[in-house]
Structure 1
Amino acid sequence: MILDGRHALVTGGSRGIGAAIAAALAGAGARVSVLGRDRAALDAVAARAGGIAVTADVTDGMALEAAIAEAEAGVGPVDILVNSAGAAETAKFTASDDDLWERMIALNLIGVVLATRRVLPGMLERGWGRVISVASTAGLKGYAYASAYSAAKHGVIGLTRSLALETARSGVTVNAVCPGYTDTDLVRDSVARLAQRTGKPAEALVAEMVAGNPQRRLIEPEEVARTVVWLADPASGAMTGQAIAVAGGEIM
């Protein structure tokens, strides 16, 4: 159990990649808390991971502060923070409005800043910690019709690299994982909406999504989760400031 007894807090832990990460960390021995907005779904994930659930919107600083304090009261100081909360909205740049940009930046970038700012001082004081953020291949190369999302994920990677430099000799590592298109309910819902709007078969739409992936498939959430566990491993102390693509060989 490489993470035996360490408290891992996973934001966006109610489903998809976040839920898979929570399960994988628990399987590696971590004591897990999951944070998000859907209490029923969080409770189910926490039950499977043998952990606890706390509710907050990661863009609400006061609510996030209270939820993290609740998690620490129940499990102990956060040793491993996984910033997995996020969402993607698509629109042509010239058709995107201020509200879309504010939503994407707040959820995908500011939420990472707020959670990290809350737990990092304790990690530095104790001389050990792991901050791992779920970014995206969109943060490495960009995608058309996803400029706000891509800009936010580029921001996450920039933040990761800067914090890694600031904490390089502290015992804390800061990394990002960058999944390609992943087999989650968010992607399946997006495909269903596109199929309804365009009349194209879902299989054809998925094929278009993964065309840049040499393996020509969706990434499994568990593949992302295993990368997170590796980065959280105490033996991975030299891994910091990295943005690791989990994308089937897609060239960035």
Structure 2
Amino acid sequence: MPSTPRRAATAVVAALALLAAPELTLPAHAAPGPVLKACYNLRATTENDRLVNGPFSLVVHSEGLDLEQMVMMNGDRGPQNYLTTTWSRDNPTPPWTSTDRTYLALYCNGDLALRRAGGTLLWHSNTGGRGIVRLALTSGGNLVLQNATGATVWQAGTGRAAIAANSILPSNQKLTTDAFVAGYGEHHSLSMQTDGNLVYRANSTVKWQSNTHGKGAYARLTTKAQLQVVAPGGTLLWSSRPTGTTYSVLDVKTIYQWWPTEKLVWGPGL
């Protein structure tokens, strides 16, 4: 079985209120899928605790909610999985241990709410009365609330947070996470801009950039775990220096190696 290294992600969200709410019905033994309909819920510690779409999973656990991405690393040892959190909302004051059957409910009025089993509100989308009929986890990793016509009323604005070695980040695409936004007040992104510059931002503040130029340039993580910016014709514009193995990932701004040893390969400022 593939091993699953995991980068721990902690998000702290201000409690909105202490409100009781009736439990919503949940179809028995429903197979994981990408959609939660209005008037239903997902509940921690049950087999109905998640939405799944390809490598992305929205998982309700005791005291919180995580949107996760699974990345497949490959090499001589066969496939290995890396799990990262792209978005999360949690109890800001959780007990030391908990088996609470926390639930995520899409109420019939269209509000999406995370609550403890007793009804304590941990987070909600504040979207009641806007015609929402479903919560969908898209194939690209975004979490969206849609009305009956399929139009997006609310979204988390999430997507990929990580790529494996021997993968590219095309022009005008980015890696992003706000799993730490509540704790640290920052949304992190690594953008391959159309002008050829690779830019890491915390919120809107530029923290690092490759200072490269060339329309249509793309970023890649090589089989030696080097992050590079490459022009459309193949010219190398920039490269990180430290190296690793094919069992490495670029997680927003940081390159991690998981085998044969676990180590931080590269990050801005290192």
TM-score, normalising length: structure 2: 0.25
What's the TM-score once normalised by structure 1's chain length?
0.26
Q: Per residue, is there more strand in 1 or in 2?
A: 2
Bigger fraction of residues in helix: 1
